[in-house]
Chains A and B, each alone.
Chain A
Amino acid sequence: MSAFLLCFAAWSAIALGMDRHHREALGRESSARHLLRLRRAGWLLLLLSLWLAARPSHATPTSLGVTAWAIALSVAAVAVTAMVTWQPRRAPAFAGGALVAGLLAWALGW
């Protein structure tokens, strides 16, 4: 669950770091540098979520953790696409919420 939420936040950042989606979500243009930072943050968050998912626990060996992450990655990508297609203006809020929820979920072991 935490993998999905973190990936959702990450993909959202990447999406919002693109001209078209940024405009649809926030109603205004933004500087190229700002967009680049958003995208970078998104990629970093993806890497972080992978690292967190790959850490072996008593119930889940690394291989299963990474597999679950790869699956969550695609699910999150689909979810973000749905978000920016049909509810672009809510996208930033959902992204922020997912980030918090994701970190919380990981801390609680979900």
Chain B
Amino acid sequence: MSATPSPAAHRPASTQREGFRQAMSWLHTWAGLILGWLLFAIFLTGTLSFFRSEFNLWMRPEMHSLPSATETEGAAEPTAQAAQAARTAQTVQKSVDALVRRAPEVTQWILHLPDERDPAVNLLWRGTGNGRFETLRMHPQTGEPIEARQTMGGDFFYRFHFELRTAQKGRWAIQGRWVVGVATMLMFVALITGVITHRRIFKDFFTFRPNKGGQRAWMDAHNVTGVLVLPFYLMITFSGLMIFHTLYMPAGIATAYKTEKGVDANAYFADLQGEKAESRPRRGPGDPVEPLPAIALQPLIEAASTRWQGGRIGSLQARRDAKGRAVVEITRHDGDRLQYRPPRLLFDATTGQWLDQADATGPAARTYGVLYGLHLARFADAGMRWVLFGFGVLGSLMIATGMVLWSVKRSARSEAKAQAHAQTAASREIHAVPLAVAARAPFGERLVAAINIATLAGLPLACGVYIASNRLIPVGTAGRADVELAWFFGTWGLALLWALACALVREGRAGWSVPLGAAGLVWAALPGINALTTRTHLGVTLPAGEWTWAGMDLSFLATGLLLGWLSWRLRPGRMSRGKVAAHPGPHTASPAPRPAPPQAVAALPGTPGVSTSGA
């Protein structure tokens, strides 16, 4: 990797062109560096989002007593199908009745049935044409709403990941998505230029030499985490660009869907989903909508089950279409195929007549659906989900090692320059500026070093604090969900202040060691905090074999131990022999090799007087 400026600048005036590889190397460095810290945050929260359901559950301990879902897969035989349909219908009817009792003015509701990852009924509803949805969680057998503590749960990681959400009812979703889009495009460029630049991509495919220390080890770590999982990164990044393509790259839509009256975006959205445009109205904020009538849901559910030959139902929705007719849409479970969204059946709510099946069928539309589905990974079972989580951790590591590598290289260069200066000064017998001051790293490098610490160490700490806050903030607090977020962002801010202070004072490795150590403490303490504040702790969940709950606590503990170990290895005062080869994210249960660094030579420019911050 070349940290030198663009080839164009320092070419001689003749037409000699610098290599393609070198130009791409420069582009790779800067595309990665500009928003690398944000990319790390996006990648890390995205990785945590693979377990969104599990976080949602764990952070609402009031849901602990719910019975497990009975419908965890489709039914094969007609009798089993009928029984399943009957049970589903009972659950749905009870929940909807409870909703209508509470909110007779409801104009639209979306009901998600319990499954193996979430034992509750999730009911989103609204009483207006275009307003926000409210959420109710209901008991699957009685249909009664469960009063759980107000929290965003795993949905925070999810929404931060793609729209940089900072509040429960955040209003900057579009702007956040734009920023994420810019970061995604930079990631896309960085991935492609990284492959182009990597000269020995096949020869060095399996090469990882933590022993060598210094730039070589960091480079190996960056290469290995980057290349071995490359298909996943390319898929995740490209699918991310396509998921929001209607926002980021609407030129095609604007051209092909142009009519006399402007661009018929509704038609595009409908075509994309494989449904008719009038089945899903786009209403303005003030548009009046009549409340829904009473609906007989059982016959519809039975009809859906028959049509899908026992394929399990994921959710139901009742709304009024563009013509004001009340319709019910029954959607298949999204875990049952790769392509997203799953097929949906449309029924007339009042007559029960089947109207339509919506599903994208064209090859390009299905490709889009598969890309979307791969990104969300709803199709993945528990084992595969853990593997994908591990890939996410490796991706976060790839970004982290890249940023650290840049810092390490620049430090080494400044140090070499400083030593050269000192030597020339000494040889001229001029009283040189004291080595310590002459070797002070330039502002840009110290800034990057500070950002590195604040994000790569601060974010895991902030995530741990967010989860802890879920147990520590009193349940009745007003605006509780936003208070939890305040703990998250406050911690991240503190980490930034710490890092900036370190950059000013030339602290060296304490800069890393302290936030990582704090993170290790917080994550490791989570099971304990859980035990002190709830009844869903390991003492209860392990004997009961409730692996969704227990698995979370155990994972938190493992994460804390790993972060603590990392902090220990990076503690100052340790002679500059040990070096950690890579910086892991919070979770550890991935199959990724945890680089256990044997004795290594100083990776960090450890000569006295030289700033080691950031590496």
Contacts and interface: CB of A to CB of B under 8 A. Distances in A.
Q: Do chains A and B touch in the complex (CB under 8 A)?
A: yes
Interface of A: 11, 14-15, 18, 20-21, 61, 63-64, 67-68, 70-71, 73-75, 77-82, 84-86
Contacts of A20: 207
Nearest to A16: B206
Contact of A81 (B206, B230, B387): B206
14 contacts: A11-B206, A14-B205, A21-B206, A64-B379, A68-B384, A70-B231, A71-B232, A71-B387, A74-B232, A78-B229, A78-B593, A81-B205, A85-B593, A86-B596
- Among B206, B370, B390, find the residue whose CB has the most chain A CB atoms closer than 10 A: B206
Given A71-B387, A74-B391, A86-B593, A81 B231 contact: no
B338 A67 contact: yes
B interface: dominant SS: loop
B206 A84 contact: yes
B333 to A, nearest CB: 15
A80 to B, nearest CB: 6
- Among A63, A64, A70, A85, find the residue whose CB has the most chain B CB atoms closer than 10 A: A85
B436 interface: no
Contacts of B338: 63-64, 67
Nearest to B591: A75
A86 to B, nearest CB: 7
A81 B370 contact: no
Contact of A78 (B384, B388, B592): B592
Interface in B366-411: 370, 374, 379, 384, 387-388, 390-391, 394
- What size tier do the contact residues of chain B reach? 20 to 34
Contacts of B208: 81, 85
Contacts of A67: 338, 374, 379
Nearest to A20: B207
A13 B111 CA distance: 51
Interface string B444-462: 0000000000000000000
Contacts of A79: 591, 593
B370 A63 contact: yes
A14 B374 CA distance: 28
B224 A81 contact: yes
B387 A75 contact: yes
A81 B228 contact: yes
A81 B203 CA distance: 13
- Among B210, B232, B591, find the residue whose CB has the most chain A CB atoms closer than 10 A: B591
Interface in B194-208: 203, 205-208
- Among A15, A61, A77, find the residue whose CB has the most chain B CB atoms closer than 10 A: A77
A63 B391 CA distance: 20
A44 to B, nearest CB: 16
B206 to A, nearest CB: 5
A92 B552 CA distance: 37
Contacts of A21: 206
Given A78-B591, A78-B592, A15 B384 contact: no
Interface string B577-600: 000000000000001110010000
A55 to B, nearest CB: 17
A61 B591 CA distance: 26
A6 B231 CA distance: 18
Given A15-B206, A77-B229, A81-B228, 12 more contacts: A15-B205, A63-B370, A67-B374, A67-B379, A71-B391, A77-B205, A78-B591, A78-B593, A81-B205, A85-B206, A85-B593, A86-B596
